[in-house]
Structure 1
């Protein structure tokens, strides 16, 4: 009986996975949305949305159109509606502007400005970019000006990762506000019991600072080369990376190994002191 239940549970999980893959299949290139936005190509699939590069046939402008992930049902629509409301309140040159939203065939969409450039993820894993300690901190200083603005406006991003930061020449852009929330508000989605994920998803400024700590580590590891042929035990970043004591202290606070920063500005002040 127990074995039969296990087979049934596995079958149900498989069917759900296949159904989600089918229902979340991207819309075809060339399709016209809302009688105005022609899909040029599919950009990517996230936890709660699908994004497309589109052309506004009335102006010829390239834009990004984000679709609430169909398999997420009402939760996906609620998150996209929340993202739309938040982005309409943000006016910053390093944050894409929300232009409009619409519904079509029971699907919800949001239209945003298209930010050209390469994500930090692309630079590291596709272009082989390497960031020294100083270069990583300089980039974070630029990024923190955007994050500080966001926090002052009363919101947290909750998903600051290397694929969500775009470099465009000397300018830096923060994208994908799909999990953004007002500081202190209850989160719409359930992130389970994973402690690290809960720290990233808390609707407090510490969640973005925690994410910044991991962001810094990704850049710093771009220059890391292990000299060991056989790794017998997993080493911590403090053992593997050669960093100045000040940067180590900063990272320990960001990652909440030590007491976290009391505010976003407190972190920026310490970052400025290290770079000085």
Structure 2
């Protein structure tokens, strides 16, 4: 069994090897560089050789077979229904060499993950909550259209000057849509097809930013503490995070959360 698992892992690594820089797709889109690999897809920065425009191409992960193609098809169908300046547009989709691809707008800027871990950015309580406030109109729009993102994380939010973008809709679903079973209570909350799943993800997103200023001198002493003890936050912010993480009853609506964020920002 161990040998079989190893062979499968090696095969997946081989079949999922990214396309080379310079590869031309549809005789029009030249791959400039590989951007990254997720659970179900690979993304590339490319250039439209006819217009010179830089775009993003997402490829269904070959090792995932039909599941990967079905998920990309679902992502395409969802993105085609969304029209928001903070959500990249799905421009086209195509098949080539038995592989499935989606063409999207390229959003320049830095992910919150890059800002924290590569640029060393530190977010104060007010700065972190202000960024969440800026993100919420995008999330609210998504919910009013009947969808949940289900993957709001620091790599999936891009900042470009004063603009903010939400990317990677690979796990997005219709609200209330039946989904596959996932193990673990935390993952169930994050993957639920309800607005509370995005609230839960935003709670963790907020904690990532708040921990950017956290410093400890004794790892053993601090390791047993939770965020409520480690982070110096206002009582209102702590109550908000507890609701987002469903430690306390969750917000009844996205607007109820936005209203509380506005109140907290007025007080900070």
TM-score range, shorter chain: over 0.9
CA contact (8 A) 2:89 2:105 kept: yes
Q: What is the 5 A alignment of 1:119-268?
A: 119-187=111-179, 190=180, 192-228=182-218, 230-231=220-221, 233-268=223-258
Q: What is the deviation of 1:229?
A: 5.4
1:38 is paired with a residue whose SS is: strand
Alpha-carbon distance between aligned partners in 2 of 1:12 and 1:196, rounded to the nearest angstrom: 30
Is 1:47 matched up with 2:36? no
Q: What is the deviation of 1:64?
A: 0.1
Alpha-carbon distance between aligned partners in 1 of 2:56 and 2:219, rounded to the nearest angstrom: 45
Aligned length: 266
Q: What is the deviation of 1:193?
A: 1.3
Q: What is the deviation of 1:214?
A: 0.0
Alpha-carbon distance between aligned partners in 1 of 2:155 and 2:219, rounded to the nearest angstrom: 31
Structure 2, unaligned runs of 5 or more: none
Q: What is the 5 A alignment of 1:12-51?
A: 12-51=4-43
Structure-2 change in CA distance of 1:191 and 1:224 (3 Å): farther
1:231 is paired with a residue whose SS is: helix
Q: What is the deviation of 1:228?
A: 2.1
CA contact (8 A) 2:158 2:166 kept: yes
Match among 115, 133, 139 for residue 107 of structure 2: 115
Q: What is the deviation of 1:195?
A: 1.2
Q: What is the deviation of 1:59?
A: 0.6
Match of 2:60 in 1: 68
CA contact (8 A) 1:191 1:197 kept: no
RMSD: 1.0
Q: What is the deviation of 1:271?
A: 0.6
Measured against aligned partners, the alpha-carbon deviations of 1:7-63 in whole angstroms (never above 9, x if no partner) come to xx1111111110110010000100001111100000000000000000001111000
Alpha-carbon distance between aligned partners in 2 of 1:138 and 1:264, rounded to the nearest angstrom: 16
Measured against aligned partners, the alpha-carbon deviations of 1:162-192 in whole angstroms (never above 9, x if no partner) come to 00000000000000000001111122xx453
Structure-2 change in CA distance of 1:102 and 1:264 (3 Å): same
Structure 1, unaligned runs of 5 or more: 1-8
Is 1:275 matched up with 2:265? yes
The TM-score, its normalising length taken from structure 1, stands at 0.95
Q: What is the deviation of 1:230?
A: 3.5
